[in-house]
Amino acid sequence: MDQAKISNIESGRIGVSEERIRRLAAHYSCADTALIDALCAMAREHRGQHWWDEYRGILAPAFLDIAELEHHAVHLRSMQTLSMPGLLQTEDYARAVFRGGIPPLPDDEIEARVEHRMRRRSALERDNPPPYEVVIHEAALRMRFGGREVTREQLEHLLEMSEWPGVTVRVLPFSNEQFIEVTQPLLYAAGVVPQLDTVQKDSPSGSHHLDAEAELQKHRALLDVAESVSLDVGQSRQLIADIAREL
């Protein structure tokens, strides 16, 4: 296979068949059967049949990437410092977030982003959804994106979703005295085999994906620390409810 085709496969510009995956594995002397089988299973889900493919050419590739990550993950962990996790946002809250972009986005793109974000929740609604553990900084709970009513509805929605099977919400309170090296939204998506684990981070320059083992270990440790110094589930729910009542 020529280098240009390999580059296009690696970048996601073209698909790859199960047969080609097995040929490439043999060519590169990869004997990891579990990894090869996992990649083949993903390849059998042909490109174009998933809901996020409807947004190809409408939204930036990063939007499709995160939806695909969440779809294939067997375990999701995240941390949010200034806004609610995308999977747990209400429509009005998401709209307020996207309206805050600089430069301002056209209305049709805002609506496409909001619709896409709402549809991402299907990852948690399907049969046997992946466990989803999220740490939310208290600052994010108190940000009034969209105003008091939108924020109150968002907090009430967060409380409701925190009771979904497999969803665990913890709050990192202002009273925490330990610095956590996470200032941007962070998602850790565990794959069906460890080699497919991926970290997705947002930054002012865009979305970044990390899969080197050193980076994976670092971000697992960061999330472990964040969870260890957060309020427990019951205390977290109480704080969320208290803040909602203040509104």
CB burial class (10 A; 0-12, 13-18, 19+) of residue 123? buried
Contacts of 23 (CB under 8 A, 6+ apart): none
- Per-residue confidence (pLDDT) for residue 133, from 0 to 100: 99
Domain residue ranges in the chain = 1-47, 51-246
What CATH architecture does domain 51-246 belong to?
A: 2-Layer Sandwich (3.30)
Q: Enter the tokens of residue 45.
A: 């889900």
Tell me the pTM. 0.88
Q: What tens-digit pLDDT sequence spans the chain (247 residues)?
A: 566 666 656 555 566 666 666 766 666 667 667 666 566 666 666 655 899 999 999 999 999 999 999 999 999 999 999 999 999 999 999 999 999 989 999 999 999 999 999 999 999 999 999 999 999 999 999 999 999 999 999 999 999 999 999 999 999 999 999 888 878 899 999 999 999 999 999 876 678 899 999 999 999 999 999 999 999 999 999 999 999 999 9
Give the angle subtended at the CA of 7 by the CAs of 23 and 43, to the nearest 5°.
50
Cα dist from 41 to 88, 199, 218, whole Å: 28, 21, 28
- Per-residue confidence (pLDDT) for residue 233, from 0 to 100: 98
Beta strand pairing status for 186-190 and 132-137?
Answer: unpaired
How many other C-beta atoms are found inside a 10 Å radius of the C-beta of residue 124? 19
